[in-house]
């Protein structure tokens, strides 16, 4: 049996480029044009009008993280995500220092179009984290 060494994370969304560019800003990812094209604009012009904008992708410039793929679907999200990303902004931090870093990152992401769902403050079992939603309402956590 083959061992999987790479994977991509796929987002179903209404506006692939908008959601993709949001996640580029969140994670420091970069947009590379589709193979065989100098730019996304050139690629999109080569496609039939009804297929333009149906997908978008970005990558970790260091090559360490998975490729993110965004595909247009006709239906909106209607229930809680079954899978979500944890954006590890507070790794190695605890208490007030961690919460301050998470809140600062949440402010940056809100300016990009995200929304804060709630702020969960550390208790006896868990460290602080901030559940959020991206520009189309997909859930993720700052932790």
| pLDDT tens track for 121-132 | 998 888 999 999
| pLDDT tens track for 79-89 | 777 778 999 99
pLDDT band at 34 (very low <50, low <70, confident <90, very high): confident
Percent of the chain whose pLDDT exceeds 90: 73
Is the C-alpha dihedral spanning 5, 56, 74, 11 positive or negative?
Answer: positive
Q: Which domain holds residue 127?
A: 85-142
pLDDT higher than threshold 70 for residue 4 = no
Q: What is the DSSP letter of 143?
A: -
Looking at the fold, whether 64 and 99 belong to one and the same domain comes out as no
Q: What's the confidence (pLDDT) of residue 2? A: 66
When computed from its CA atoms, the radius of gyration of the chain, rounded to whole angstroms, is 17
**92 falls within a domain:** yes
Q: What is the CATH number of the domain that holds 56?
A: 3.30.720
* Distance separating alpha carbons of residues 106 and 116, to the nearest angstrom: 7
CB atoms within 10 A of CB 117: 13
Taking the mean position of all CA atoms in its chain, how far away is CA 69? 10
Looking at the fold, whether 99 and 128 belong to one and the same domain comes out as yes
Is the entire prediction scored with pTM above 0.75? Answer: yes
Q: What's the confidence (pLDDT) of residue 100? A: 96
């Amino acid at each position: 049996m083959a061992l999987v060494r790479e994977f991509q994370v796929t987002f179903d969304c209404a506006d692939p480029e908008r959601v993709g560019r949001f996640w580029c800003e969140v994670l420091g990812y970069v947009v590379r044009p589709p193979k065989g094209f100098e730019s996304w604009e050139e690629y999109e012009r080569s496609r039939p009008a009804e297929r333009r904008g149906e997908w978008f992708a970005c990558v970790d410039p260091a090559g360490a993280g998975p490729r993110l793929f965004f595909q247009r679907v006709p239906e909106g999200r209607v229930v809680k995500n079954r899978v979500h990303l944890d954006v590890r902004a507070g790794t190695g931090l605890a208490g007030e220092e961690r919460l301050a870093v998470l809140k600062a990152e949440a402010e940056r992401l809100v300016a990009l179009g995200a929304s804060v769902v709630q702020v969960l403050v550390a208790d006896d079992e868990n460290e602080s984290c901030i559940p959020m939603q991206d520009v189309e309402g997909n859930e993720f956590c700052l932790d």
